[in-house]
Chain A
Amino acid sequence: MRRSRAGFALAFLSPALILYGVFVLWPLVQSVQLSFYRWRGVSVRRKFVGFDNFREAFQDSIVGQSWLHAASLVFIAGAVTIALALLIAHLVEGQSRVADLARRVMLIPHVISLVAVGLIWSFLLNPTFGLVNATLKAVNLGGLVQPWLAKPVPAFLAVVAAFVWYAIGFFILLFTAGMRQIPEEVREASGLDGASGWRAFSRITWPLLWSVKRIAVTYVVIWILNLFSLVKLLTEGGPDRATELPLTYLYEQMMGNGKFGYASALAVINIILAFAASGFVLWIFRRDPTSGRAK
């Protein structure tokens, strides 16, 4: 009986494990290996160069820029997304028709693909037919009209806006679920039962959402470090690399310049920094002020 169970387990696991091993784990190992070679992918010869690719990466000013942009996105887009999502999650808790509608539509930007999100925002910000400039003119703010995606700072803000638009629904969902976990007695005990105003928000909701906030921050960091298609479609990393991100640069080095070894080194650095960043987030949120109560 035991023997046959082990055989059954192996038989049932193997299709998944083989595919996973060959196409996920094996390339992951090779990523590390390739990062120590200079190789353009076409020739049979590949040259072991030690840490040269990594040295090149640290001297490559565009690599530094792309990480600076990713970090700024985490702080700006991440902060805006989480703050707005908390506020909206608090507001949609009530039973009203508008709250219900908001809950119904909030994930639409999330399911229509980052390619569509990137294109929609590039259309909205188009200098000749875009809705944004047309609206600014209509409300007498013509001074703000500009070719958004052609100037560095406005282009960066466009990426922030598009990311927030895409991501916020998921975080509202996350926070609403977190709020439902807050025990009813806590609300009652605080004498704020039924209150939905700022006091209830700051006294109960905010502190008790500690563990959910940690998950939310981790997600924001991971999503931004993974950002590729949105920027590729919206700005192509431009103008003048003002919105270049680690993954758009990696893609350029691989498919544009055929520098396979260098691109692998960039990927390895990316993995290490991503782990460091999520480790840092967990460290910041290590202290739970509610001491494990509303986990």
Chain B
Amino acid sequence: MKSFLTKSFLWVYILSILVPVGWVVMSSLKTGADIFGNPWAPSAVPQFKNYAEAWSEAQIGTYFWNSVLVSGVTLAVLLPISAMAAYVFAKVPFPGRRAVYTVVLGGMMFPNFLVIVPLFLLMRDLHMLDTLWGLIVIFVAFSLSFSIFVLTGFFESVPDELAEAGVLDGASEAGIFWRIMLPVVRPGLLVVGILNLIGLWNEYSLSLVLIQSPENRTLPIGLANLTMVQHYQSNWGALFAAVTMTMLPMVAVYLLFRRRLESAMLAGALKG
């Protein structure tokens, strides 16, 4: 009896997640009229043209590639420079290291949005406002704290003997880092990369302020804008399709790397 209650409760919980998500996916294949007909009924004929319309006419394709570009380049810059900094914080003692590390971690404490006013003005003065590369620079800067924090933990767990072996072989400090240490912390780079990917793909508030032209929109702001437009045009099928295209890539990433992600999120929460 007790276990029956437990199981029913868990089923209610599972369905509360899967039903809304599934309903959005199901509705993305319905015609506008069907969406307004019976919300529970699937479409008799799947309307794949909703996806085509969302992708080209509603510009979701442009936004999608912008998001791919911004997330990809951000990670390509972010991972090496945060690994370099994390290596120094973990393995290379210098005066004041503790203090500098604390200041860098401070960035995890306050919400990005609170510096949005001066950030907007700074980007305008640097002529980086409303550009994708400007957004990339901001994304890298605001992802540093968390990435350095996680990677420092990974470097700390690498035994010092490994670097010493490199010294005996006559390798330079930089050589030791690139050829010996970096390959060892590959699991850490993967975890940091995936966690940042999810955050960057979904980032809304900074992009909303820093991006203005339609052709520079990333997926979240493009999608939000589309919602307002679709209220007039009432092409709801395409809007459901756009939401589906935004969320499914991250659901896939999450399901693929679930265990690693969970342990990294926990490490961040329990130590931070």
Contact = CB atoms under 8 A, between A and B. Distances in A.
Interface of A: 4-6, 8-10, 12-13, 15-17, 19-20, 22-28, 30-31, 34, 41, 87-88, 91-92, 94, 96, 98-99, 101-102, 104-109, 111-116, 119-124, 128-131, 134, 138, 165, 169-170, 173-174, 177, 197, 212, 215, 219, 222, 225-226, 228-229, 232-233, 247, 250-251, 254-255, 260, 263-264, 267, 270-271, 274
A91 B7 CA distance: 8
A91 B10 contact: yes
B121 A112 contact: no
B140 A19 contact: yes
B122 interface: yes
A20 B24 contact: no
Choose among A23, A124, A130, A255 the residue with the greatest number of B CB atoms under 10 Å from its CB.
Answer: A23
25 contacts: A5-B92, A6-B94, A12-B177, A15-B81, A22-B141, A23-B141, A24-B142, A26-B122, A30-B121, A31-B114, A96-B3, A102-B14, A112-B250, A120-B243, A129-B236, A134-B39, A134-B40, A197-B2, A215-B270, A229-B220, A233-B227, A247-B111, A247-B113, A251-B205, A254-B117
A98 to B, nearest CB: 5
B159 to A, nearest CB: 19
Given A5-B92, A105-B18, A274-B110, A28 B115 contact: yes
A272 to B, nearest CB: 11
Interface in B1-60: 2-3, 6-7, 9-11, 13-14, 16-21, 23-24, 27, 35-36, 38-40
B107 interface: yes
Given A23-B142, A111-B198, A113-B201, A129 B17 contact: no
B182 to A, nearest CB: 12
Contact of B84 (A13, A98, A108, A226): A13
A15 B148 CA distance: 12
B118 A27 contact: yes
Contacts of B116: 250-251, 254, 263, 267
Interface of B: 2-3, 6-7, 9-11, 13-14, 16-21, 23-24, 27, 35-36, 38-40, 81-82, 84-85, 87-88, 92-94, 97, 100, 103-104, 107, 110-111, 113-122, 137-138, 140-142, 144-145, 148, 173-174, 177, 198, 201-202, 204-205, 208-209, 220, 223-224, 227, 236, 240, 243, 246-247, 250-251, 253-255, 258, 261-262, 265-266, 269-270
A9 B223 contact: no
A260 B177 CA distance: 44
Contacts of B19: 131
Given A31-B118, A34-B118, A9 B140 contact: no
Given A23-B138, A31-B115, A12 B85 contact: yes
Contact of B270 (A177, A228, A267): A177
Q: Which 4 A-B pairs have the closest CB atoms?
A: A113-B202, A23-B141, A30-B118, A112-B247
A131 B174 contact: no
A124 B227 contact: no
A88 B113 contact: no
A259 B265 CA distance: 37
B121 A41 contact: yes
A269 to B, nearest CB: 10
Contact of B254 (A107, A115, A229): A107
B14 A20 contact: no
B5 to A, nearest CB: 9
Contact of B9 (A41, A91, A112, A174): A91
Contacts of A250: 113, 116
A13 B85 contact: yes
A27 B107 contact: no
A37 B103 CA distance: 27
Contacts of B253: 111
Nearest to A92: B10
A173 B267 CA distance: 11
B269 A215 contact: yes
A94 B10 CA distance: 11
Contact of B117 (A23, A109, A165, A260): A260
Nearest to A87: B9
B53 to A, nearest CB: 17
B250 A94 contact: no
Contact of B223 (A22, A105, A115, A225): A115
